[in-house]
Amino acid sequence: MLFTRRRGYTRVVNRTAASVLLVVVMAVLIVVVDVFFVRGEFWPRLGVNVGIVVLSGAVYLVFLDR
């Protein structure tokens, strides 16, 4: 079903796959930054996590939301 030739269907599948990939990359980046850089600090950790989410949202709006 993923490889049907209907017009527009592959765009929806590609956009969905890209969105899922973006969310997975965002989650992995948050975990890696938390573990390696801001482990014991609360406010810097919160700020970095919010920054990563905002940056991921900007990437989504610029590249994927068309």
Residues 7-63 pLDDT 10s: 656 667 788 888 899 999 999 999 999 999 998 899 999 999 999 999 999 999 998
* Digit-coded pLDDT (tens) for 16-25: 888 899 999 9
DSSP element (H, E) containing 24: helix 9-36
The pTM is what?
0.78
Contact 22, 56 (CB under 8 A): yes
What are the CA-CA distances from residue 27 to residues 16, 34, 51, 58 (Å)? 17, 11, 13, 15
14: CB partners within 8 A, 6+ apart: none
